[in-house]
Amino acid sequence: MKQKLQSWQPIKDVGEVFQSSISYQPKKGLHLKIEDTSGYHIDVMYDRISAIQDYIWTYRFTKTCDRKDILDLADVVEQSKQTSDRANHIFYKMHQSNFLAWYDSLPWLGSKDIPGVEHHLYICGEYIYEVISDYEPLFHASRTNED
């Protein structure tokens, strides 16, 4: 199975990522905070109960330097993009996901039982955040340096 990234643009005009963080709280869900160098803040919230009765199926994060495989896939998308939107390099969906295949091997419900499960990727400076979910998160953006 060969993994392939697809550019995903639920929000636009994101510049170079300055900092990011992720948190999970059992009664609130998963929250990813991203800030770019221009002061643009993006909150990515997985705050709905999913088909498996939790907010997300699973998540992980790794240092970018440890995931050359992901960076190479992102380079392929960036080289082939047909748009000039700056957000292309930050948000992705993974097809033929090894991460989802691993989750499906666990003794519980998997993507064959519940359709529409997706592997979302956020490349944020020195970290790559990955989320397996059966719904798309809520995105909220704000700018701290209003003109």
The pLDDT tens digits for 110-142 are 999 998 999 999 999 899 999 999 999 999 999
Which pLDDT value is given to residue 17? Answer: 87
Number of domains observed in the structure of the chain: 1
Q: What is the model's pTM?
A: 0.89
Task: Kindly report the three-state secondary structure assignment for every residue of the chain.
Answer: CCCEEEECCCCCCCCCEEEEEEEEECCCEEEEEEEECCCEEEEEEECCCCCCCCCCCEEEEEEHHHCHHHHHHHHHHHHHCCCCCHHHHCEEEEECCHHHHHHHCCCCCCCCCCCCCEEEEEEECCEEEEEEECCCCEEEEEECCCC
pLDDT, position 100: 96
pLDDT over 90 for what percent of the chain? 65
Question: pLDDT grade, residue 15 (50/70/90)?
Answer: confident
Q: Check residue 88 and give its pLDDT.
A: 46
Range of the domain at 138: 4-143
For 31-83, the pLDDT digits (tens) are: 999 998 888 899 999 999 999 999 999 999 999 999 999 988 888 888 876 55
